[in-house]
Structure 1
Amino acid sequence: MEHFIAAFSNFTNFRGRATRNQFWMFSLIYFGIVIGLSITEGLMGIPGIASGLFGLVMLIPSIAYGARRLHDIGRSGWWQLLGLIPVIGLIILIVMFCLPGKDEAAAQFPLQTA
């Protein structure tokens, strides 16, 4: 949960790095909340307003966290634009997010603690 809270305290920070653990814990909590909201909305018979609003609120923090994760592997945050390419772009991004961090990236993008 600390990584999710850290995303909000640092939501406009596109500099620095995020480790694989930080990124995937944030993503796991994010998708868990979205799935929980979607199930609740489905059971109540209401449209996906809450999950849509949550996704909108989390848009900038998610992009910032993705940029910091890409910095950890020595890439620019702009590589997230690959996600706009249907299927193959998303697969490439997931693979990139799974790569281990590079030591060379530490000089260019210092690790953020909060």
Structure 2
Amino acid sequence: MFVFESAMATLRKYADFQGRASRHEFWCFFAFVILANAVAGLVGMLFGMGPMLSGLVGLFLVIPQIAVAVRRLHDVGKSGRELVVPCVILAVMPVAFAFRGILPQIVALGLLGVGLLAFANLLTLFLKKGTNVPNRYGKAPAAFSFAR
């Protein structure tokens, strides 16, 4: 149940790109997004809606995912601009693989390699422990506490 409480706290900051997010907040929200998409996909299959419901859930959650990722990067002292290259590569990838021929496929595979490196860099930043002291993006995120 803690993942859902954490995800709801993150959803309250739907499009807040300011401040910092702890590793715990980021990964709990990441788990919530995966669970929400899986449940939406299952419900969509049961009611004959196909992938439409899962797509709507994914579309609804894309802004909070980007916002929490930017805040997570802020926690390790990096700018949210670190997300630009992987997102552009992810958007261009289907177009790159649509071209036929040996040269376009080599270029597409090179783009795939650069994309994998960019995502590996992001993963290391997301796994990195944030600083306990204030940085230029704000004070250190407080641990989640749902005790009242």
TM-score class, shorter: 0.7 to 0.9
The correspondence for 1:80, drawn from 83, 107, 119, is 83
Give the distance between the partners of 1:63 and 1:110, measured in 2 at CA. 20
> Corresponding residue for 2:32?
29
> Corresponding residue for 2:57?
54
**Which runs of no fewer than 5 residues in structure 1 stay unpaired?**
none
Larger C-alpha radius of gyration, 1 or 2? Answer: 2
* Higher RCO, 1 vs 2 (CA within 8 Å, ≥6 residues apart): 1
> Corresponding residue for 1:92?
121
| Letter paired with 2:124 | V
Using the size of structure 1 for normalisation, the TM-score is 0.84
Retained in 2: the 8 A contact 1:82–1:90?
Answer: no
| Letter paired with 1:107 | N
The correspondence for 2:135, drawn from 89, 107, 110, is 107
Q: Give the match's secondary structure for 2:135.
A: helix
Write the deviation string for residues 46-73 of structure 1: whole angstroms up to 9, x where unpaired: 4211110111111111111000000000
Pick which of 7-16 and 38-47 moved more: 38-47
Retained in 2: the 8 A contact 1:82–1:92?
Answer: no
Q: Give the match's secondary structure for 1:15.
A: coil
Give the distance between the partners of 1:27 and 1:69, measured in 2 at CA. 12
Q: Percent identity?
A: 29
Post-superposition offset of 1:43: 4.9
Instruction: Report how many residues are paired.
Output: 113
Aligned CA distance change for structure 1 residues 6 and 111 (closer, same or farther; 3 Å): farther
